[in-house]
Amino acid sequence: MTKIIDRVTIVTGASRGIGRAVAEQLAEAGCMVVAAARAQHAEETVATILASGGRAELASLDVTEPDAVRNLVSDVVKRLGRIDVLVANAGIARDQLLLRLQRKDWDDVLATNLTAVFTCVQAVLRPMIRQRFGRIITISSVVGQMGNAGQASYAASKAGLIGFTKAVAKEVASRGVTANVVAPGLIDTDMTRALGSEGRDNWQSLVPLGRMGTPADVAHAVRFLASDEASYITGQVVGVNGGMYM
């Protein structure tokens, strides 16, 4: 297993699903993990990590509140001395065919999935540049690569993340900071449980490997990108989609 000793890491949306698996795997790899979600939602994630001998702390964070994001990052840097890895994972979907899509739902999806990632990345960038090391990993989606009926806002936000992350990768490459995208396909979490069994079966029929992915499948890719072994990889989109998009 890839060891990533002593990296200070923030994972947003760490209360469940993919973010929780990422937090647990990074802690298992030796990172100090700041597990962030709204209210105290990531409490169980932190408890699991601590119980298995890892290092983690709980952060109550709504990523759509820029001041809260900036305060969290500056507090982490003040107390722990650095911020090495950001996994910008928090995300939402408000699916609706475009003709029925409400402006509020469009705004909410863009605010959480794209604008909040801008806020998080901007907040960690200065300390990462100063320390001449950083790993930024954003969580997009196969839907941002291939589109999907009923998901115009989600697809726009996730496609936006890909362009955003590539631009950041170019801006900071000379400072020892990498920025990469992980684009999951159909992963078994609360988000896809909301599709119902027919919706999930339809999606699954598009997966050459013939099964849904697990949060751990995605976390393996994130853990690799956060490791020293990935130091020559930047500006890339890593699909974890069972071959759904290639």
Ligand X SMILES: NC(=O)c1ccc[n+]([C@@H]2O[C@H](COP(=O)([O-])OP(=O)(O)OC[C@H]3O[C@@H](n4cnc5c(N)ncnc54)[C@H](OP(=O)(O)O)[C@@H]3O)[C@@H](O)[C@H]2O)c1
Residue 242 engages ligand X in binding (rule: CB under 6 A): no
Q: In this complex, which beta carbon is closest to ligand X, that of residue 141 or of residue 227?
A: 141
Options 106, 133, 154, 164, the catalytic residue = 154
- Let me know: does 193 contact 199? Beta carbons within 8 Å: no
Least distance (Å) from ligand X to the CB of residue 244?
Answer: 10
Least distance (Å) from ligand X to the CB of residue 38?
Answer: 3
Q: Which of residues 27-46 bind ligand X (CB under 6 A)?
A: 37-38, 41
Question: What is the rounded distance in angstroms from the CA atom of residue 63 to the CA atom of residue 103?
Answer: 20
Stretch that binds ligand X, among 17-25, 78-86, 126-134, 226-234 (CB under 6 A): 17-25
Which of 93, 112, 101 lies closest to 186, judged by CA?
93
- Let me know: does 118 contact 167? Beta carbons within 8 Å: no
Q: Which of residues 96-135 bind ligand X (CB under 6 A)?
A: 112
Stretch that binds ligand X, among 46-54, 75-83, 94-102, 184-192 (CB under 6 A): 184-192
Q: What are phi and psi of 154, to 5 degrees?
A: -65, -45
Residue 89 engages ligand X in binding (rule: CB under 6 A): yes
If you search the block for the tokens 């995300």, which residue do you land on? 91
Q: Tell me, what DSSP letter sits at residue 237?
A: E
Concerning whether 154 is annotated as a catalytic residue, the answer is yes
User: Helix 43-51 crosses helix 17-28 at what angle (to 10 degrees)?
Assistant: 30
Side-chain half-sphere CA neighbours of 198 within 13 A: 0
Please report, for residues 17, 87, 145, the alpha-carbon distance to residue 156 in angstroms, rounded to integers and kept in the order given: 22, 20, 10
Residue 139 engages ligand X in binding (rule: CB under 6 A): yes
Least distance (Å) from ligand X to the CB of residue 86?
Answer: 13
Give the H/E segment covering residue 122. Answer: helix 116-131
46 to 65: interface string for ligand X, x by CB under 6 A = ---------------xxxx-
Considering only residues 190, 208, 210, 246, which one is a binding residue for ligand X as defined by CB under 6 A? 190
Residues acting as catalytic residues: 154
Which residues would be at the binding site for ligand X (CB under 6 A)? 12-13, 15-19, 37-38, 41, 61-64, 89-92, 112, 139, 141, 184, 186-187, 189-192
